[in-house]
């Protein structure tokens, strides 16, 4: 997957869980920066979330200018607090491509566009 760029702090309405990725909070912060959303309330379903708009090369095209955009999220679910140890962080999006995009960003340590 060829990630062109991504930005954080975007509206992630209408996304839903697509998969998970096992990593730590510190690893996510080192790659993605500080979370987009934090709520330390122990009764909250989500305590920590990164929302991103990812532009990537269309995998069905050889043309590097043929790009697509996907909104993705990474978040904890019903843990009562932010998990700081190894945890299966939830990946949200509107399609299964969200999983591949997030894992590519994490694996290649791609930082967001400033």
pLDDT at res. 1:
84
Pair 21, 91: CB distance under 8 Å = yes
Confidence tier at 114 by pLDDT (50, 70, 90): confident
Model pTM?
0.92
For 2-33, write each residue's pLDDT tens digit.
999 999 989 999 999 999 999 999 999 999 99
For 80-102, write each residue's pLDDT tens digit.
999 999 999 999 999 999 999 99
Pair 95, 70: CB distance under 8 Å = yes
């Amino acid at each position: 997957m060829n990630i062109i760029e991504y930005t954080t702090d975007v509206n992630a309405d209408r996304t839903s869980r697509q998969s998970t990725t096992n990593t730590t909070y510190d690893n996510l912060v080192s790659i993605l920066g500080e979370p987009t959303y934090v709520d330390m309330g122990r009764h909250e379903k989500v305590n920590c979330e990164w929302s991103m708009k990812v532009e990537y090369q269309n995998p069905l095209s050889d043309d590097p200018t043929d790009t697509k955009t996907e909104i993705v999220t990474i978040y904890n679910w019903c843990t009562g607090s932010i998990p700081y140890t190894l945890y299966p962080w939830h990946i949200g999006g509107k399609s299964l491509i969200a999983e591949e995009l997030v894992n590519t960003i994490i694996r290649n340590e791609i930082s967001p566009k400033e």
